[in-house]
């Protein structure tokens, strides 16, 4: 190359990883969707995969994170506004995901009275959500909260009748207006306060009935929330103390007379990642709300919302790990070091194959859990949902940061700069482990199941026992877990060990039954074979690493 300011030709740099169909190029995802009962959604997911993996969509993700949401507390004349302005790219991302129905597709049977649930709806939605998170993770927060608000609303028929028809349309309407004037609405959630997040019983926010209290009654709420994301949502499910204890309320942005409700946003959090999503600190200055459920039943009421969001945390984390892995393999396939493609350097081969195995396991676990939500009426699936929601959320979300860090390293210095998606991903992933119940809280939830719902544990252990029967290492892992369960006094100390062991065993059994032998054998050998390791790239001496990496490659359409 010649020219006055040209010193060199750019060589040995990979092409950008964009315009890749996130569904067609992801074998583990495609197989999980089929295996867990959503094969009918194949074509829709393929189309959504092309959309979410397009260069335009990824650019929107970048823009929405570079141009942060801005809180506008007042207008220029000093009137309160309490609105948040987003970059147009954020609204475009919301439009993409809402048009796909990610905020309501599992509830479309509610459009017509008596209509049965659509089989495989949760798994199909999980497939799309996994890809939407790769397109851009921050906007997934209001999407997941809106979806998860529906089962709580169903507990209060008059509120369900008023609000659910506004959630169901596959549309996004960002206008700041009363819900009745809008084409579609989104929901947020306010539980965490300064003095207590996990310990929501410590809430100091007070609720006074306008007249007589009780389910569906009107209340005036005074207090604060320390984290309340997606503040431009049309309504929030919030917890506050009523006379008979912590109660769940539906708090809309507008009052029935069309005036703005008394939510005063103090500031937006300056966060490590998840930056396209606004997370507010808010005060309720006598805000109007209606009780959702009876006084004192706040936690029991809102828990179903939390359960649904925990599934999404796992699915999104699996998707983000997939994105990191795809970038790592793509880079290694194109980069030459010491006269050899990086992907064929023996040490790198070990690392990449090891990353593939964890992404396969995270995907398998998340989609098996989604199936349990689809079939929750079946007692065995219900047992899986109860026990394995915290187990899956714990393990998948917790391994994500280390996996993304290793994937970033596979790109060398180029992985560490903001132009590559890895830097943003690295800052994004820890949040899924923190919100909706942090690690220890998931472990405590598992212990609660052990104490209060031993039948659920027994059923899951039975299922895992059957699935593990043909493999000596899985069988041994199953026996080890059984022995942990028989020592309940030690569980306080061994809770994390138990949860991790359950996640690994479940993943091992699903991969054994459903993944190619190269993947399943390597996963079982390296995770159950007694290899002691703290970093990736170990324990795969006998594995067919090339076959494993080829399966994980995004360059396969």
Ligand X SMILES: Cc1cc2nc3c(=O)[nH]c(=O)nc-3n(C[C@H](O)[C@H](O)[C@H](O)COP(=O)(O)OP(=O)(O)OC[C@H]3O[C@@H](n4cnc5c(N)ncnc54)[C@H](O)[C@@H]3O)c2cc1C
Enumerate binding residues for ligand X (CB under 6 A). Answer: 188-192, 196-199, 227-229, 271, 274, 279, 431, 434-435, 438-441, 444
Chain-centroid distance of CA 80 in Å reads 34
Q: Which is nearer to ligand X, 250 or 411 (CB)?
A: 250
Measured CA to CA in angstroms, residue 101 lies from 255, 266, 374 at distances of 27, 32, 16
Q: Which is nearer to ligand X, 187 or 367 (CB)?
A: 187
| Helix or strand (DSSP H, E) at 266 | strand 263-268
Q: How far is the CB of 438 from ligand X (least distance, A)?
A: 3
Nearest residue (beta carbon) to ligand X: 197
What DSSP assignment string belongs to 210-246? SSS-STT-EEEEEEEEEEEE-TT-SEEEEEEEETTEE
Q: Which is nearer to ligand X, 141 or 164 (CB)?
A: 141
Q: How far is the CB of 231 from ligand X (least distance, A)?
A: 9
What residues pair up with 238 in beta bridges, in sequence order? 190, 249
Q: By the 8 A CB rule, do 498 and 491 touch?
A: yes
Q: How far is the CB of 179 from ligand X (least distance, A)?
A: 19
Token duo for residue 466: 């059957």
Residue 430 CA to residue 206 CA, distance in Å, equals 32
Q: By the 8 A CB rule, do 222 and 286 touch?
A: yes
Measured CA to CA in angstroms, residue 243 lies from 200, 206, 219, 293, 295 at distances of 16, 9, 11, 14, 7
Q: How far is the CB of 67 from ligand X (least distance, A)?
A: 18
Q: How far is the CB of 44 from ligand X (least distance, A)?
A: 29
Q: How far is the CB of 448 from ligand X (least distance, A)?
A: 11
Q: How far is the CB of 387 from ligand X (least distance, A)?
A: 19
Residues with Cβ < 8 Å from 484, sequence gap 6 or more?
A: 490, 491, 494, 497, 498, 501
Q: Which is nearer to ligand X, 134 or 229 (CB)?
A: 229
What residues pair up with 190 in beta bridges, in sequence order? 238
| Helix or strand (DSSP H, E) at 355 | helix 346-374
Look at residues 333, 223, 357 and name the one whose alpha carbon lies nearest to residue 284: 223
Q: How far is the CB of 190 from ligand X (least distance, A)?
A: 5
> How many helices (H) and strands (E) are present in the chain, helices listed first?
18, 11
Q: What is the dihedral of CA 74, 79, 83, 86, to 10 degrees?
A: -50
Q: Which is nearer to ligand X, 48 or 227 (CB)?
A: 227
Q: How far is the CB of 442 from ligand X (least distance, A)?
A: 8
> Would you mind telling me the total number of residues written for the chain in this entry?
557
Token duo for residue 245: 């204890």
Contacts 24+ apart (CB under 8 A), 72-77: 73/264, 73/265
Q: Which is nearer to ligand X, 406 or 436 (CB)?
A: 436
Q: Which is nearer to ligand X, 45 or 207 (CB)?
A: 207
Q: How far is the CB of 283 from ligand X (least distance, A)?
A: 14
Q: Which is nearer to ligand X, 236 or 367 (CB)?
A: 236
Token duo for residue 236: 């929030």
Q: How far is the CB of 282 from ligand X (least distance, A)?
A: 10
Question: Given the DSSP bridges, would you call strands 187-190 and 70-74 parallel, antiparallel or unpaired?
Answer: unpaired
- Specify the 3-state DSSP secondary structure of 83: strand
Q: Which is nearer to ligand X, 376 or 441 (CB)?
A: 441
Q: Which is nearer to ligand X, 225 or 512 (CB)?
A: 225
Q: Which is nearer to ligand X, 118 or 225 (CB)?
A: 225
């Amino acid at each position: 190359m010649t020219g006055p300011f040209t010193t060199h030709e750019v060589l040995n740099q990979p092409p950008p990883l964009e315009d890749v169909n996130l569904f067609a190029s992801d074998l583990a995802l495609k197989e999980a969707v089929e295996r867990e009962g959503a094969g009918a959604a194949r074509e829709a997911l393929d189309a959504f995969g092309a959309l979410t993996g397009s260069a335009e969509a990824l650019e929107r993700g970048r823009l929405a994170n570079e141009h942060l949401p801005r809180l506008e507390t007042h207008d220029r004349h000093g009137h309160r506004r309490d609105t948040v302005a987003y970059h147009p790219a954020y609204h475009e991302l919301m439009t993409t995901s809402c048009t796909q129905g990610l905020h309501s597709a599992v509830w479309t049977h509610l459009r017509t009275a008596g209509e049965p649930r659509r089989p495989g709806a949760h798994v199909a939605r999980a497939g799309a959500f996994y890809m939407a998170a790769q397109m851009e993770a921050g906007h997934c927060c209001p999407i997941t909260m809106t979806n998860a608000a529906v089962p709580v609303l169903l507990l209060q028929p008059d509120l369900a009748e008023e609000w659910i028809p506004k959630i169901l349309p596959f549309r996004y309407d960002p206008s700041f207006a009363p819900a009745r004037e809008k084409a579609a609405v989104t929901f947020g959630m306010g539980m965490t306060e300064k003095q207590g997040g996990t310990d929501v019983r410590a809430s100091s926010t007070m609720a006074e009935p306008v007249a007589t209290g009780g389910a569906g009654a009107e209340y005036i709420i005074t207090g604060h929330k320390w984290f309340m994301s997606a503040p431009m949502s049309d309504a929030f499910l919030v917890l506050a103390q009523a006379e008979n204890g912590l109660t769940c309320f539906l708090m809309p942005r507008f009052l029935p007379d069309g005036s703005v409700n008394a939510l005063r946003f103090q500031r937006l959090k300056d966060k490590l990642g998840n930056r396209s999503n606004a997370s507010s600190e808010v005060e309720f200055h006598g805000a109007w709300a209606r009780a959702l459920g009876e006084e004192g039943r706040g936690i029991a009421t809102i828990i179903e919302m939390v359960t649904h969001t925990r599934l999404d945390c796992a699915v999104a984390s699996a998707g983000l790990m997939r994105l990191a892995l795809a970038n790592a393999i793509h880079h290694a396939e194109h980069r030459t070091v010491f006269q050899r493609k990086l992907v064929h350097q023996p040490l790198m081969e070990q690392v990449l194959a090891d990353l593939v195995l964890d992404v396969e396991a995270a995907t398998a676990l998340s989609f098996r859990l989604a199936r349990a939500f689809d079939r929750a009426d079946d007692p065995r699936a219900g047992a899986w949902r109860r026990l394995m929601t915290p187990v899956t959320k714990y393990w998948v979300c917790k391994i994500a940061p280390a996996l993304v860090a290793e994937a970033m390293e596979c790109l060398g210095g180029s992985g560490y700069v903001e132009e590559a998606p890895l830097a943003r991903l690295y800052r994004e992933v820890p949040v899924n482990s923190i919100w909706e119940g942090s690690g220890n809280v998931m472990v405590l939830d598992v212990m609660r199941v052990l104490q209060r719902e031993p039948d659920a544990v027994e059923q899951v252990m039975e299922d895992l026992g059957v699935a593990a029967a043909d493999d000596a290492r899985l069988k041994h892992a199953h026996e080890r877990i059984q022995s942990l369960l028989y020592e309940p006094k030690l569980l306080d100390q061994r809770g994390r060990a138990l949860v991790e062991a359950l996640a690994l065993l479940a993943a091992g059994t699903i991969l054994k039954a459903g993944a190619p032998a190269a993947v399943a054998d390597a996963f079982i050998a390296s995770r159950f074979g007694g290899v002691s390791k703290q970093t990736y790239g170990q324990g795969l001496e006998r594995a067919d690493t090339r076959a494993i990496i080829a399966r994980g490659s995004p360059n396969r359409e």
